[in-house]
Amino acid sequence: MYALRGCSRVQVVGHRGRTVFNGELRQGQLLVVPQYFAVTIQAQRESFEWVSIKTSDNAVVNHFVGKTSALRGMPVEVLTNSYRISREEAMRLKFNRGNELALFTSKIEREAIRASV
């Protein structure tokens, strides 16, 4: 992952559930993530833009947010206990992208689209 703009909190977890990285990724920094490790990204204070380069033709990508996400299907109680977050945070995590699927627009782009309608 290469950070193009902004700053985010990034957590990388291995296949046995052990956290191997839990920190900030800032503009201009590069983070190498081993194949088949799970990555979560949360923008800090402003938008965060990054590029991911996949080195396998069969790279596995699952979405954690949006209409078809793994998190959308989990009970709120599982999210609150698993991630040690409040019920409100769990609800935001589950439903923060409405009916979007995989291609997410930035907040600025969504506002511009709403303004033009």
Q: How far, in whole angstroms, is CA 29 from its chain's centroid?
A: 17
Q: What is the pLDDT, as a whole number, of residue 74?
A: 80
Closest of 56, 78, 74, 57 to residue 65, by C-alpha:
74
- With b for 16 or more beta-carbon neighbours within 10 A and e for fewer, the 73-89 pattern comes to eeeeeebbeeeeeeeee
Helix ranges, 1-117 (H) = 76-83, 87-95, 107-116
| Whether the model pTM is above 0.85 | no
How many other C-beta atoms are found inside a 10 Å radius of the C-beta of residue 92? 12
Residues 71 and 40: beta-carbon distance below 8 Å: no
Taking every pair of C-alpha atoms in the chain, what is the biggest distance, in angstroms?
A: 47
Q: Give the pLDDT of the chain (117 residues) as one tens digit per residue.
A: 999 999 999 999 987 788 999 999 999 999 998 887 888 888 887 788 888 877 776 666 666 556 667 777 788 888 888 778 899 988 887 777 665 544 444 455 555 555 555
Q: What is the pLDDT, as a whole number, of residue 20?
A: 92
pLDDT digits (tens, 9 = 90+) for 48-78: 888 887 777 666 666 655 666 777 778 888 8
Closest of 57, 60, 67 to residue 33, by C-alpha:
60
